[in-house]
Amino acid sequence: MKYPIITLLFLFFSNLLLAQSEVFEVDGEEKKLTYDVNSKLSLLVDDSSRNYIIYLQKDDQIKELSKKNYKKILSNFTKDDNVDTKNVDFTLKDIRNFVLDYNAQFDDQFAKTPSVSVRLSFLGGVSNYNAFLPREFDGRYLFQGIGLEFYNKEKFNRHSLIVQARKSVDQGDFDVDVFEIGIGYRFKIINTKRFHLYFESEFFNLHKVEFEQDALLEENEMPLENQNDYEIEPSLGLGGGLAYRVAKGFYLTANYNNIVFLGLDDNGESPIDIRFGVKFDL
């Protein structure tokens, strides 16, 4: 493949954004911390090592939690609501759930949710998905589609499983008909209340491609075999995108997918797979 520079630049940019932390002053010392929960009562972590160091923030106060003091600090920071700390263990999971429960009383977005949340998306775009189109075909096709995004809002809100079904749009004398179902993974590099910037990969693709033979014969002077049956490609397509929330539970999206294919030969054309759409919280 001829895209090593694009791949390296993309991964470098992703890692650079992911590594960004904010600097806070804690007991007279500057600490680089990352928000795990950002609300009236915030949870911050120092994730520079495998052993997460946990901090609690409320107003202008930031305190480091330890096994000896964490219940006392949790109680002091939640005096206005008298939240019970008796059954809270000194684990990131338990303290995160405690913080979420407290914030849910002031902000509906922290209310208890099912273990799996779902977003429904409608999309359209243009592609020359060259990993499974024949080398003789160098055109582009318009497509439309529908997708589902599965994620856990409380514990793994940066991670999503994506399932999409896409179908090429009839363009009159167009010579290729494509239908595909893809399964992929999405990681939100920037994950704020209004804006998401994410890395995305597609690791499974079930597709069917049909050609209008006469049109391709006239251009290429050689017959091409139709893929009359569905085929599975275990390819790894890498790309990214962004989403902007314009109303509660409603987002505008833009993606550039399959910038690079790993483990699969393409037809040598510059990859184009641009998608625009909307998505809704279900």
- 263 falls in which pLDDT band (50, 70, 90)? low
pLDDT digits (tens, 9 = 90+) for 213-225: 554 444 545 444 5
Q: Which residues contact 153 (CB under 8 A, 6 or more apart)?
A: 113, 117
* Residue 280 CB coordination number (10 Å): 13
The closest alpha carbon to 144, from 126, 161, 132, 162, belongs to 126
* pLDDT value for 112: 59
Alpha carbon of residue 69 to chain centroid: 36
How much is the mean pLDDT over the chain? 76
- 5 falls in which pLDDT band (50, 70, 90)? very low
What is the spatial distance between Cα 18 and Cα 26, in angstroms, rounded to a whole number? Answer: 23
What is the spatial distance between Cα 57 and Cα 193, in angstroms, rounded to a whole number? Answer: 18
Is residue 190 predicted with pLDDT exceeding 80? yes
Is residue 17 predicted with pLDDT exceeding 80? no
Residue 183 has which token pair? 């399964």
Residue boundaries of the structural domains of the chain? 4-110, 117-281
Question: What would be the CATH architecture of the domain defined by 117-281?
Answer: Beta Barrel (2.40)
What is the spatial distance between Cα 34 and Cα 133, in angstroms, rounded to a whole number? Answer: 43
The pTM of the full predicted model, rounded to 2 decimals, is 0.54
pLDDT digits (tens, 9 = 90+) for 127-184: 876 666 666 666 677 888 999 999 887 667 788 999 999 988 876 555 677 888 889 9
Is residue 251 predicted with pLDDT exceeding 80? yes
What is the spatial distance between Cα 239 and Cα 70, in angstroms, rounded to a whole number? Answer: 41
